Structure 1
Amino acid sequence: MAGTPSFEGAGDPRYLPISEHGLIGDLRSVALVGTDGTIDWYCCPAFDAPSVFASILDAERGGRFEVAAIGPARTKQFYFPDTNVLITRFFTEDGVGEVQDFMPVDGASAETERHRLIRRVLCVRGSVPFRVLVAPRFDYGAQPHTLRLDGEMAVFESEKLTLALTATLPLEADGLDVRADFKLSEGESAVFALDQVGPGVAPRGCAHTEAERQFTSTVAYWRRWLSQSRYRGRWREMVHRSALTLKLLTYAPTGAIVAAATTSLPEQLGGERNWDYRYVWVRDAAFCVYSLLRLGFADEAEAFMKFVTDHVTPGESHASGPLQIMYGIDGRTDLPECELAHLEGHRGSAPVRVGNAAADQLQLDIYGALLDSIYLYDKWARPISSDHWDDVCAIVDWVCAHWDQPDEGVWETRGGRKNFLYSRLMCWVAIERAIRMANRRGLPADLNRWREARDTIYRRIMSKGWSESRRAFVQHEGGDVLDAALLMMPLTKFIAPTDPKWLSTLDALTHDLVSDSLVYRYDPQASPDGLRGDEGTFSICSFWYVEALVHAGRVDEARLAFEKMLTYANHVGLYAEEIGQTGEQQGNFPQAFTHLALISAAFNLDRALG
């Protein structure tokens, strides 16, 4: 596979690498906090709202919230144990300071419109001088704002959003920004709170006592939530960090689970593979349900099922059939894609995109992912309702009638539709899981038609998806290109994990697409996808590879590959979508797909090791 070429923006000191960030959130939105103490990504009041801070996408025009020690300092970052409260530490010549970053969340519904972000600055040893700069740039840096400053409160007002910054020390205006320079001695602290304000939500200070109370209640919330986990295996810390990350990517008001926290972080520096992932991919969210159910988080699975029944139901016909491949976090179906030409992109990687035109693609695999999650929910959590079963039947009937057509495939290629094997495989899964549910619960169904379609798909895959010359199953009919999505064949129970045809395919995938423990999705040179440039290895595929090795009985190889994959996590256990040639993280960050696959791989590897 081709490596990542050099790019003039790669060493730009104005940008932290993607991996040099932690994530905080309040189950409605999130913020990225760099290891230098800067919040360089924050959308308010929701995941897919326009950004307030976006210097990760444009260092000059994006906006940022800096908190840093003045003068030379080493920094380290970690999560307060078993929580999503992030600590950034500054080690200076005269002392040690830290910033505690969190968004208050305690499970209560009071003041849900405040959307508070708290930054508590402390000196824990000696004395440390700090500087703070709050420079919002509303609507992705396109909307002007005014500043009103009154001592320890600053109000930033734009046409559609107003934010109030309150502090426990005086603030100074710097044009339309706000700054504060101060020195703390051991035991002293300062608090900065950024609130959305408007009708019914007035600016409110955040005194030291309130910051302490909200810190304590937020820590208690995350620990109470995590205590539901049933995982007791070897990789508890990484599995629980992945679970906490998936929870952060959940939009509590609807139960939606977004694919990632960001938009347009590049899959290759200087490339055009920059997409908006702040939406609900049916596929990604359905796989999340599996991982969360495995760990014992039934409430999240139930919330997503409610999102499905409320929004992801067959009815009006979309370009992708009775369901879209993705939805807004509020269930909306209109996600127009546009480019923000005024932003230069992360390290100059343009374009920056908002919205996602792939919403109009036909991706047949989503039906299998959704039906598999419904099947598991019905089996492990709570039986689905009769109305929900009617929706399932409508979806399966549509799949039976439409599985035999080309589509854009799981990787959302923009190079034309093909008869992708993975799409066929997941259509088989959709029908097969529905048959299981009907038989287990005695539910009404056109079983004869369903079985005939299921068996026809199986025979089609075994005949036209197999390449004698490659001795492997291939990406699409009539081709000889391999595809890492085929790793799902034994994981979905389509084929026995020790079937000679599958073992031969696994060897071929290992030879063509695996680099160390890392797995490429496919070779874009051999299988053009309509886009320029290369990409890194795809982290979910690397964890699928671990599972495939486990099921094939190659447990020692699987464990080594898994342990190697863990070394590619960032300093707080988070993964972006891809990993580049030299181990750098690429693409949107953090990505739900990767973390849910880590959970599944750890669970199955633990079980195999006994």
Structure 2
Amino acid sequence: MREAAMTEAAIADHGLIGDLQTAALVSTDGSVDWFCCPRFDSPSVFGALLDDERGGHFRIRPHHDYASRQMYFPDTAILITRFTTEAGMGEVVDFMPPAGSVATGNHQLARMVRCIRGEMTFEVDVAPRFDYGRRAHTLDLSASGAVFGTDALTLTMHAVREPADERLATVRVEENDLHLTIPLTAGQVRGVVLESDAGGPPREIRVAEFERMFHETAAYWRTWLHRCTYTGRWRETLQRSAITLKLMTYAPSGGLVAAPTTGLPEQVGGERNWDYRYTWVRDASFSVYALLRLGFTEEAAQFSRWMRDRVSERVGGEGGPLNIMYRVDGSSDLKEESLEHWSGYRGSRPVRIGNGAADQLQLDIYGEALDSIYFADRRGLEVGHRGWTEIRELLDWLAAHWDQPEEGIWETRGGRQDFTYGRLMSWVAFDRGIRMAATHGRPAAVAAWTQARDAIYDQIMEKGWNRDRGAFVQHYGSPVLDSSLLRMSSVGFIAPHDPMWASTLRAMDSELVTDSLVYRYDPEASPDGLLGSEGTFSLCSFMYVDALARAGRVEDARLAFEKMLTYANHVGLFSEEIALSGEQIGNFPQAFTHLALIDAAITLDAELDRANARR
């Protein structure tokens, strides 16, 4: 049994809920430990994940000692936390009704509380800390609920109860935080709905209405998931990843946040704590590819439109046509600052908001953008005249600027280098542009693009290949390996059975891979301008599976994939990294990891089918 005492929850001890404009993390203790409102990138209201004392929380759990388990209501984004005590069994059912595709300040966080067997008394603590705990709030109680208010944001708590209830519960107020005690017996259902921008005072919600909200939310998710066309070996795993990606998509723009969190450390106690609540061009590009492979054409089309809008806005601008990341609405003000008053996750400071890497030069994003647009084009989402004009301008710019040092995919802060991966993806950009021009007979500077593509190929083979290591390396003139180059065969730059590629994989096996887990690179061998180390990168671990499968090492790939699945948390979610202890670290859940999982599974499925056919 776990004592009902305030403790810091591990990153992996959370499930994700959301309404397609913002999201919340709910711990296995029944605590909402992270919630930003009204958008993913808005200031937090509940932030106990980053500072249990000052961050704020919304906690519902049994009054007495308990054990807990957590699960998703099948095929939905509805999270169920189940509690058992010596006196009975109960549940807290958490969900957010979808907010729609028009940006709104109105969001509902619904928490259904019910007793399944015996009896159970629930303690409810509502302790918001608005604006990352920097803004004090007021509390106004009424017979139907409560209002937590600031001059910038108001949260209204509606009580869920029946007419026979004499009162909501035993109520206690302490420093404008609300504490409730709700005694229930088997079969009883109660709860609360926390609503932003409610447009009126608290109201009593009947259980029948509450249950209708639950069923409508469940129907939405099941209807959406029914569009998935994947029928392979890991169907449930991929469907959970698809739902997770949908939860991290801002419906009004189609932008996919890298993660719904900020400041979760890549090394506990270290300084590598970044804000991931933004949309990276790279992640959006990967999402087009992965979701089209699952059959989610509408989402892929929306991501493609988001991408084309960014290209349209910045063609000819200073620093290149594209920023590497944007806010979910497409704006680019991501000024980085630190929350000095927060202790950080397990003492990991500083806690950063905003992201100073936004203005970096990362040339790989052009290849990722063009690769996804090309893939979508082949799947029926053809580029129109305006889109093609913007692609031409982008590639014409790249033809004049690809051969220069940059910060690279890992957003290093140790100075620009001639990163091999940046060159690789520049090659991809030209290759895909040339293919689309030929397929559709579109006007383009094909001769100049071809010259650039071929020059990049020759340069990588000359300078990106290290003869002493027998491997392609992180940047020119370096012996350091980099797992981003695992994509070399998947993008078609090198044949998966080429001896140079087989040698590169073997070098990575011995230096970057530990069991199934893969490091990005060795920061001691290639200083990146930051202190400390990091865990293995889950994105790279799934890219490794994909590369092994394509190289014919199918059994190795399957074993590595199955091992990776054991590192998921209890509801199938992955953070950014895995520590030496097996603990999930970094921002959570991470879109990139789930995108790579989908790609690896689909590639591995196909290779296993081919192997079985040969047998």
Note if 1:19 corresponds to 2:18: no
- Other structure's SS at 1:490 match: coil
- Aligned partner of 2:307 in structure 1 is 308
Q: Quick one: structure 1 residues 314 and 182, their matched pair in 2 at CA, closer, same or farther if it must change by over 3 Å?
A: closer
- Other structure's SS at 2:489 match: helix
Residue by residue over 1:166-197, the C-alpha shift from the partner in whole angstroms, topping out at 9 and shown as x without a partner, is: 11324442220111112110000112000002
Quote how far apart the aligned CAs of 1:158 are: 0.8
Note if 1:123 corresponds to 2:115: yes
Q: Quick one: structure 1 residues 35 and 319, their matched pair in 2 at CA, closer, same or farther if it must change by over 3 Å?
A: farther
Quote how far apart the aligned CAs of 1:108 are: 8.0
Note if 1:179 corresponds to 2:172: no
For residues 412 and 108 of structure 1, the distance between their equivalents in structure 2, rounded to whole angstroms, comes to: 32
- Aligned partner of 1:93 in structure 2 is 86
- Aligned partner of 1:102 in structure 2 is 95
Compare 71-80 and 311-320 and name the one that shifted more. Answer: 311-320
Quote how far apart the aligned CAs of 1:312 are: 3.7
Note if 1:73 corresponds to 2:66: yes
Note if 1:531 corresponds to 2:530: yes
User: In 1, are the aligned partners of 2:61 and 2:122 still within 8 Å (CA)?
Assistant: yes
For residues 446 and 319 of structure 1, the distance between their equivalents in structure 2, rounded to whole angstroms, comes to: 22
For residues 294 and 266 of structure 1, the distance between their equivalents in structure 2, rounded to whole angstroms, comes to: 32
- Aligned partner of 2:283 in structure 1 is 284
Q: How does 1:542-561 map to 2 (within 5 A)?
A: 542-561=541-560
Quote how far apart the aligned CAs of 1:311 are: 3.2
User: In 2, are the aligned partners of 1:106 and 1:218 still within 8 Å (CA)?
Assistant: no
Note if 1:56 corresponds to 2:65: no
Q: For residue 179 of structure 2, what is the amino acid of its counterpart? A: R
User: In 2, are the aligned partners of 1:193 and 1:205 still within 8 Å (CA)?
Assistant: no
For residues 28 and 183 of structure 1, the distance between their equivalents in structure 2, rounded to whole angstroms, comes to: 34
User: In 2, are the aligned partners of 1:149 and 1:173 still within 8 Å (CA)?
Assistant: no
User: In 2, are the aligned partners of 1:488 and 1:544 still within 8 Å (CA)?
Assistant: yes
For residues 260 and 99 of structure 2, the distance between their equivalents in structure 1, rounded to whole angstroms, comes to: 21
For residues 603 and 320 of structure 1, the distance between their equivalents in structure 2, rounded to whole angstroms, comes to: 36
Structure 1: state its 5+ residue gaps: 1-11
Q: For residue 367 of structure 1, what is the amino acid of its counterpart? A: Y
- Other structure's SS at 1:313 match: helix
Q: For residue 191 of structure 1, what is the amino acid of its counterpart? A: G
- Aligned partner of 2:237 in structure 1 is 238
Q: For residue 466 of structure 1, what is the amino acid of its counterpart? A: W
Residue by residue over 1:587-607, the C-alpha shift from the partner in whole angstroms, topping out at 9 and shown as x without a partner, is: 000000000000000001111
- Aligned partner of 2:612 in structure 1 is none
Return the TM-score normalized by structure 2. Answer: 0.95
For residues 265 and 74 of structure 1, the distance between their equivalents in structure 2, rounded to whole angstroms, comes to: 26
Quote how far apart the aligned CAs of 1:318 are: 5.5
- Aligned partner of 1:154 in structure 2 is 146
Note if 1:42 corresponds to 2:21: no
User: In 1, are the aligned partners of 2:68 and 2:83 still within 8 Å (CA)?
Assistant: yes
For residues 323 and 182 of structure 2, the distance between their equivalents in structure 1, rounded to whole angstroms, comes to: 52
Q: How does 1:405-444 map to 2 (within 5 A)?
A: 405-444=404-443
Quote how far apart the aligned CAs of 1:107 are: 5.3
For residues 130 and 82 of structure 2, the distance between their equivalents in structure 1, rounded to whole angstroms, comes to: 29
User: In 2, are the aligned partners of 1:39 and 1:53 still within 8 Å (CA)?
Assistant: yes
For residues 417 and 17 of structure 2, the distance between their equivalents in structure 1, rounded to whole angstroms, comes to: 40
For residues 27 and 393 of structure 1, the distance between their equivalents in structure 2, rounded to whole angstroms, comes to: 33
For residues 316 and 441 of structure 1, the distance between their equivalents in structure 2, rounded to whole angstroms, comes to: 23
Note if 1:332 corresponds to 2:331: yes
- Other structure's SS at 1:574 match: coil
- Other structure's SS at 2:107 match: coil
Quote how far apart the aligned CAs of 1:71 are: 1.1
For residues 595 and 247 of structure 1, the distance between their equivalents in structure 2, rounded to whole angstroms, comes to: 11
Q: Quick one: structure 1 residues 312 and 201, their matched pair in 2 at CA, closer, same or farther if it must change by over 3 Å?
A: farther
User: In 2, are the aligned partners of 1:47 and 1:278 still within 8 Å (CA)?
Assistant: yes
Q: For residue 93 of structure 1, what is the amino acid of its counterpart? A: E
For residues 556 and 311 of structure 1, the distance between their equivalents in structure 2, rounded to whole angstroms, comes to: 41
For residues 511 and 231 of structure 2, the distance between their equivalents in structure 1, rounded to whole angstroms, comes to: 35
For residues 167 and 590 of structure 1, the distance between their equivalents in structure 2, rounded to whole angstroms, comes to: 31
Residue by residue over 1:513-568, the C-alpha shift from the partner in whole angstroms, topping out at 9 and shown as x without a partner, is: 00000000000000000000010000010000001000100000000000000000
- Aligned partner of 1:113 in structure 2 is 105
For residues 416 and 286 of structure 1, the distance between their equivalents in structure 2, rounded to whole angstroms, comes to: 26
User: In 1, are the aligned partners of 2:145 and 2:156 still within 8 Å (CA)?
Assistant: yes
For residues 473 and 343 of structure 1, the distance between their equivalents in structure 2, rounded to whole angstroms, comes to: 42
User: In 1, are the aligned partners of 2:111 and 2:191 still within 8 Å (CA)?
Assistant: yes
- Aligned partner of 1:255 in structure 2 is 254
For residues 63 and 40 of structure 1, the distance between their equivalents in structure 2, rounded to whole angstroms, comes to: 7
Return the TM-score normalized by structure 1. Answer: 0.96
For residues 487 and 441 of structure 2, the distance between their equivalents in structure 1, rounded to whole angstroms, comes to: 29
Quote how far apart the aligned CAs of 1:207 are: 2.3
Q: 1:164 aligns with which of 139, 156, 181?
A: 156
Q: Percent identity?
A: 57
Residue by residue over 1:269-296, the C-alpha shift from the partner in whole angstroms, topping out at 9 and shown as x without a partner, is: 1000000000000001110111000001
For residues 353 and 448 of structure 1, the distance between their equivalents in structure 2, rounded to whole angstroms, comes to: 45
CA RMSD of aligned residues (A): 1.4
- Other structure's SS at 1:116 match: strand
Q: For residue 525 of structure 2, what is the amino acid of its counterpart? A: A
For residues 298 and 75 of structure 1, the distance between their equivalents in structure 2, rounded to whole angstroms, comes to: 38
Quote how far apart the aligned CAs of 1:112 are: 4.5
User: In 2, are the aligned partners of 1:319 and 1:360 still within 8 Å (CA)?
Assistant: no
User: In 1, are the aligned partners of 2:144 and 2:203 still within 8 Å (CA)?
Assistant: no
Quote how far apart the aligned CAs of 1:371 are: 0.7
- Aligned partner of 1:141 in structure 2 is 133
- Aligned partner of 1:453 in structure 2 is 452
- Other structure's SS at 2:269 match: coil
User: In 2, are the aligned partners of 1:318 and 1:324 still within 8 Å (CA)?
Assistant: no
Count of residue pairs the alignment pairs up: 597
Q: For residue 45 of structure 2, what is the amino acid of its counterpart? A: V
Structure 2: state its 5+ residue gaps: 161-167, 610-615
Quote how far apart the aligned CAs of 1:315 are: 3.1
